[in-house]
Structure 1
Amino acid sequence: MFKGFAEDWVETPGARIFVRHGGDGFPIVLLHGHPRTSATWHRVAPTLMDAGFTVICPDLPGYGRSVIAHPASDHSSSSKRAMARSIRSAVETLGHTRFYLVGHDRGSYVALRLALDSPAAVARLALADCVPISEHLARADAAFATARWHWFFYAQPDKPERAIAADPLAWYGFDADTMGAENFAEVAEAVRRPEVIAGMLADYRAGLAIDRQHDEADRDRGKKLTMPVLALWSIRDDLEKLYGDPLAIWRAWADQVQGARIDSGHHMAEEAPTQLTGELERFFG
């Protein structure tokens, strides 16, 4: 995986970030989702690098090989604001103060928060398989609770740690053939580590509390994304089933938003890398 990429750990005030990076051009930062690592981009990142971009793929704080410096009992150290600060700090340490930003799944919430808090740093923003956390929770009917039950289970104390740790590979049901052997091996190793399980669950626990509060505060103030935004969603996942056209939600959050449907299940970077990369190349130019 990632031929031609360097691997580094970058110290930031909030976390020690593991990052893959390569290329020579305007930077694109790719943020993965749950329960993946930066390896999920192994079929996308090299193509973007070949297209002339510098491509930066961090492990989110608490995921993979990125370690949160001082985990907080109230999960504030795993808030999307804290994660976004660590990611931005790591990218700046690599020499980039302005960049394109892509987030998928949980990584999209980090990307959204980074773009809202630091709009001067984000030239363009692509968000995949998401709407803001507060918008999900405002629509949390029976259909949402059935589809996203794990959001609420992961917020419980102790039980999710024990359930996942009993057999992480069975819990997540990874498909090694779809993921690719090296990606599968990396993620399988990560989710066997108790500190990674704890970090991923802290992400969800923050989501239902402090992250929702941050979203709602921005919405109440009328704060919006000022950079061009691309919303992507997997047509064989549940976003359209839950909400219809996701752009109807994103138009309340972004001045300039366009969308595209990806013919895949949820993990689009692994299942539909050619289509996803094509949409990103068109958007980022």
Structure 2
Amino acid sequence: MFEGFTLERIDTGEVTLRVRHGGSGPPVVLLHGHPRTHTTWYQVAPALAADFTVVCPDLRGYGQSDKPAADEDHTQYSKRSMAADIVGLMVALGHEQFAVVGHDRGSQVAYRTAMDHPERVSKLVVMDGVPVVEALERCDSDFAEAWWHWWFFAQTAKPAERVICADPETWYNAWTSNGPDQLGPENHADFLAAIRDPATVHAMVEDYRAGPRCDRRHDEDYRAAGRQLECPMLMLWSTKDDMEEIYGDPLAVWRPWCPGIVGHGIDSPHHIAENAPAELVQSLQEFL
């Protein structure tokens, strides 16, 4: 995977991230979702590297990146903390301004990076995600049925980690819908190593615990202040997932945050980078 890319660990200030980077041209950072690692981009990053300097980290808590202990408000796993990691990483690599692409949980880190650090982010792409506060305020029985794990992970009375770690490969469908034929053998091996590590599972769950707590407050504060995203923004979503079923027009959810947003669906299940890499690369190249 990632021929011609460099794999290293980089100190971002508060944590050290495992990072793969390569290519040349304008910098773009690709942020994975749950429960993936940076290797989810193994078909996308090399295709972009002919035109861009591509940076693919494991998010804080995920894969082989640092997993700090969390406080009662789970602020160490807030998207604000993760966004600060991304800025620290890109500055360490010599990039003062850069584009950000995020999928799933990574989409929340991506838009938080653009909101908190508008001087740093030149363009923003979110995939299969809406602002945390928008998701929570739209929650109904359909959302709860489809995304019940949000609430299971977020509560702390009966820690989800104990259930997941009892049989992580079954929990994450590691030999069925997330098997090596779907993920590719090397990407699958990295995914397996992550979900088999109890510390990683705990940190991934902490990411969700931050959602209805500090992440929601950060969104509410910006919305109350009338803050909007300042950079050009593209949204992409998987048409074989449930974004349209839950939200109708996903772009309408984002317009109060970015009136000039553009976007479209891609004929793919949820993990677009693995299931429809060619279509994703084309969309990213045209926008970036």
Question: Does TM, normalized by the shorter one, top 0.5?
Answer: yes
Q: 1:69 and 1:13 mapped to 2: Cα distance?
A: 13
Amino acid at match of 2:121: V
Q: 2:8 and 2:70 mapped to 1: Cα distance?
A: 22
Any residues of structure 2 matched to 1:229-244 within 5 Å, and which? Answer: 229-244=233-248
Instruction: Indicate if the aligned counterparts of 1:125 and 1:227 stay in contact, CA closer than 8 A.
Output: yes
Q: 1:13 and 1:74 mapped to 2: Cα distance?
A: 21
Residue equivalent to 1:266: 270
Task: Name structure 1 gaps, 5 residues minimum.
Answer: none
Pairwise CA distance, 1:146? 0.5
Q: Does 2:251 match 1:247?
A: yes
Any idea what the Cα deviations from partners look like across 1:167-222, whole Å, max 9, x if unmatched? 11110112220110000000101111111011100000001110001011111111
Residue equivalent to 1:16: 16
Amino acid at match of 1:274: A
Residue equivalent to 1:201: 205
Amino acid at match of 1:226: E
Pairwise CA distance, 1:256? 1.9
Q: 1:258 and 1:18 mapped to 2: Cα distance?
A: 32
Residue equivalent to 2:26: 26
Amino acid at match of 2:142: A
Q: Does 2:256 match 1:257?
A: no
Any residues of structure 2 matched to 1:1-285 within 5 Å, and which? Answer: 1-50=1-50, 52-157=51-156, 158-173=158-173, 174-284=178-288
Give SS of 1:198's match: helix
Q: 1:16 and 1:61 mapped to 2: Cα distance?
A: 8
* 119-128 or 155-164, larger mean C-alpha shift: 155-164
Q: 1:114 and 1:241 mapped to 2: Cα distance?
A: 28
Give SS of 2:16's match: strand
Amino acid at match of 1:152: W
Give SS of 1:154's match: helix
Any idea what the Cα deviations from partners look like across 1:125-144, whole Å, max 9, x if unmatched? 00000110100000111011
Q: 1:233 and 1:69 mapped to 2: Cα distance?
A: 31
Q: 1:13 and 1:205 mapped to 2: Cα distance?
A: 23
Pairwise CA distance, 1:107? 0.3
Instruction: Indicate if the aligned counterparts of 1:14 and 1:77 stay in contact, CA closer than 8 A.
Output: no
Pairwise CA distance, 1:26? 0.6
Question: TM-score with structure 2 length normalisation?
Answer: 0.96
Pairwise CA distance, 1:122? 0.5
* 65-74 or 112-121, larger mean C-alpha shift: 65-74
Q: 1:124 and 1:43 mapped to 2: Cα distance?
A: 21
Q: 2:161 and 2:247 mapped to 1: Cα distance?
A: 30
Amino acid at match of 2:105: R
Pairwise CA distance, 1:234? 0.2
Q: 2:135 and 2:171 mapped to 1: Cα distance?
A: 24
Instruction: Indicate if the aligned counterparts of 1:16 and 1:68 stay in contact, CA closer than 8 A.
Output: no
Pairwise CA distance, 1:159? 3.1
Give SS of 1:280's match: helix
* 58-67 or 9-18, larger mean C-alpha shift: 9-18
Pairwise CA distance, 1:15? 1.3
Instruction: Indicate if the aligned counterparts of 1:13 and 1:69 stay in contact, CA closer than 8 A.
Output: no
- State the number of aligned residues: 283
Any idea what the Cα deviations from partners look like across 1:209-263, whole Å, max 9, x if unmatched? 1000101111111100011000000000011000111111111101321011111
Amino acid at match of 2:285: E
Instruction: Indicate if the aligned counterparts of 2:80 and 2:113 stay in contact, CA closer than 8 A.
Output: yes
Instruction: Indicate if the aligned counterparts of 1:79 and 1:207 stay in contact, CA closer than 8 A.
Output: yes
Pairwise CA distance, 1:123? 0.4
Amino acid at match of 2:80: R
